[in-house]
Structure 1
C-alpha cells in the first residue's frame, strides 16, 4: 500500500509536468491543425536560460524562472513569425508547417550544441527535494509536491485566461474556425502569437522541472515526445484531454517502474499510444476533424 501510494504521487507529479507541455501542443493544434515538433526546443530554451541565470547572475529561482518563461515565450513567437507565418500566408496545407517544425527543432537543438556544448548540466539545488510524509503511510519528495502544485496553478491560470478574457474567447472561437474568427474582426496574426507565447511559457516551466528532475542537455526536448503521446491519447486539440492523457501516462510510467521494471516504462508508453490509435484514433476527448481549407 505504501509503495502504491508513493508511485501514484510520483506519477501525478510527472504527469503534471507532461501536462504543461502537452497543453502547449494542443493549443497550437487547436488553432493551426498541425503538431509543432519545435515545442521541445522551447523547453530547452527555458531550461538553459534558467540554468545560466542561476549560475552566473546568482539570482533566485523566481527571477530565473520568470526570465526562462519570457525567453521561451518570445522564442516561440519568433519561431512562428520566421518559420510558420510565411507558410501560413502562402498555403493551407498543414503538412508544410509540420515539416518546418521538424526543421526548427533540429535548428534549436544544434544552436545549443554549438553555444552551450553537448555535455550534461545539473541545475543548482534551488528546488527543495527533502522527503515528505504523506498521510503517515507514504514518503515522497518535496520536489514532486512542488511540481504538481506548480502545474495545477499554471493550468488553472490558463483556464481562467481562456474563459475570462477577450483573447481567451478569441482563441476558443478560432479553435472552431480560424478563418471565420478573422472575418469577425479577430487579429489572426496576433492571436497566433499569443497562442505560441503561452505554449512557450508552459514549455519553459516544464523544462525547468525536467532539468531539475533529470539533467539539462540540448536533446532534452526529445522528452516532449511523451507529452505529444499524452496529447494524442487525450485527443489532439483538447486541453482537458491533454491533461488527462498526461496524468494517465505519468501514472502508467511510475506504476510500471515501481511494480514491474523501470526498463519497461517506454514500452508501456508506446503500447498505450498504439492501443489508443487502434481503438479511438481521435483520443479520449478528441473529435474527428477535417483539414481546414
Structure 2
C-alpha cells in the first residue's frame, strides 16, 4: 500500500510538470490552431538561464527563477515575432506555422549545443530533495511535493488571469474566434504576444523542475513530446483537458515503472495516445473542429 501511495504522489508530481508544459501547447493552439513544437526550446532556455544565474551571479533560487521565467517568456515572444508573425501575415495555412515551429525547435537546440556545449549540467541543490514521511503511510521526496505545489500555484494563477483580467477575457474570446475578437477591438498582435509570453513562462517553470529531476542539456526539450501527448489526450485547445491528460500520463508512467518495468513507460504513454486517437480523436475535453474547404 505504501509503495502504491508513493508511486501515485510521484505520478502526480511528474504529471503536474507535464501540465505546465501542456497548458502552453494548448494556449497557443486555442488561438492560432497549430502545435508549437518550439515549445520545448523555451523549456531549455528557462533551465539554462536559471543555471547561469545561480552559478555565475550567485543569486538565490527566487531571483534565478524570476529571471528564468521572464527570460523564457520574452524569448517565446521574440520567436513568435521573428518566425511566426511574417508567416501569419502572408497566409492563413497553419501547416506552415507547424513546419516553422519544427525548424525553430532545431535552431534553439543547436544554438545551445554551439554556445553552451552538449554536456550534461546539474543545477545546484537549491530545491530540497530530502525524503518526507507522509503520516507513516509512505515516503516520498520533498522535491515531488514542491513541484506539485508549484504547479498548482502557477496553474491557479493562470486560471485567475484568464477569468479575472481584461486580457484573460480577450484570450478566451479569441479562442472562440480570433478574427471576430480583432473586429471587436482586441489588439490581436499584442494578445498573441501575451499568449506566447505566458506559455514560455510556464515552460520555464517546467524546465527548472525537470533540470533538477534529471539534468540540464540542450536536448532536454524533447521531453515535451510527452506533454504534447498529454495535451492531445486531454484535447488540444482545452486547458482543463491539458491538466487532466498530464495527470493521467504522469500516473500511468509512474505506476508502470513501479509495478511493471521502467522500460515499459514509453510503450504505455504512446499506446494511450494511439487509443485516444482511435476512440476519441478530439481528446477527453476537446471539440471536433471541421476544416473549411
What residue in structure 2 maps to residue 195 of structure 1? Answer: 195
1:98 aligns to what? 98
Kept in 2, the 8 Å contact 1:112–1:218? The answer is yes
Residues 23-172 of structure 1: matches in 2 within 5 Å? 23-172=23-172
Report the Cα offset of residue 133 of structure 1.
Answer: 0.8
**Could you tell me how far apart the structure 2 residues matched to 1:140 and 1:147 are?**
12
Partner of 1:208: 208
Task: Name stretches of at least 5 consecutive residues in structure 1 with no aligned partner.
Answer: none
Structure 1 Cα separation of the partners of residues 106 and 158 of structure 2: 29
- In structure 2, the residue corresponding to 1:133 is in which secondary structure? strand
SS in 1 for 2:8: helix
The separation in 2 between residues aligned to 1:153 and 1:210, in whole angstroms, is 17
- The verdict on how the C-alpha distance between 1:292 and 1:152 changes in structure 2, with shifts beyond 3 A counting, is farther
Partner SS, residue 121 of structure 1: coil
Give the superposition deviation at 1:292: 6.9
Measured in 2, the distance between the counterparts of 1:57 and 1:238 equals 39
What is the CA–CA distance in structure 2 between the aligned matches of 1:292 and 1:74, rounded to whole Å? 34
8 Å Cα contact 1:92-1:292 kept in structure 2: no
Q: What CA distance in whole angstroms lies between the structure 1 residues aligned with 2:122 and 2:68?
A: 16
The two structures have a TM-score, normalised by structure 2, of 0.99
Q: CA deviation at 1:291?
A: 4.1
Distance 1:134 1:266 in 2: 29
Residues 152-192 of structure 1 deviation map (CA, whole Å, 9 limit, x = unaligned) = 00000000000000000000000000000000000000000
- Aligned partner of residue 289 in structure 1, secondary structure: coil
- Find the counterpart in structure 2 of residue 287 from structure 1: 287
Q: Do 1:17 and 1:206's aligned partners in 2 also have CA atoms closer than 8 Å?
A: yes
- In structure 2, do the counterparts of structure 1 residues 166 and 96 end up closer, same or farther at CA, with 3 Å as the change threshold? same
1:134 Cα deviation from its structure 2 partner: 1.0
Matched, 1:237 2:246: no
Retained in 2: the 8 A contact 1:33–1:291?
A: no
Secondary structure of 1:132's partner? strand
What CA distance in whole angstroms lies between the structure 1 residues aligned with 2:170 and 2:162? 9
CA distance in 1, matches of 2:171, 2:210: 28
Q: TM-score with structure 1 length normalisation?
A: 0.99
- 1:135 is displaced (CA, Å) by 2.5
**Structure 2 counterpart of 1:12:** 12
How many residues get paired?
293
CA shift at 1:68, angstroms? 0.5
Aligned to 1:269: 269
Q: Is the deviation greater in 126-135 or in 38-47?
A: 126-135
**Separation of aligned partners in 1, 2:292 and 2:171:** 16
CA distance in 2, matches of 1:142, 1:193: 35
TM-aligned CA deviation for residue 290 of structure 1: 3.0
1:136 CA drift (Å): 1.3
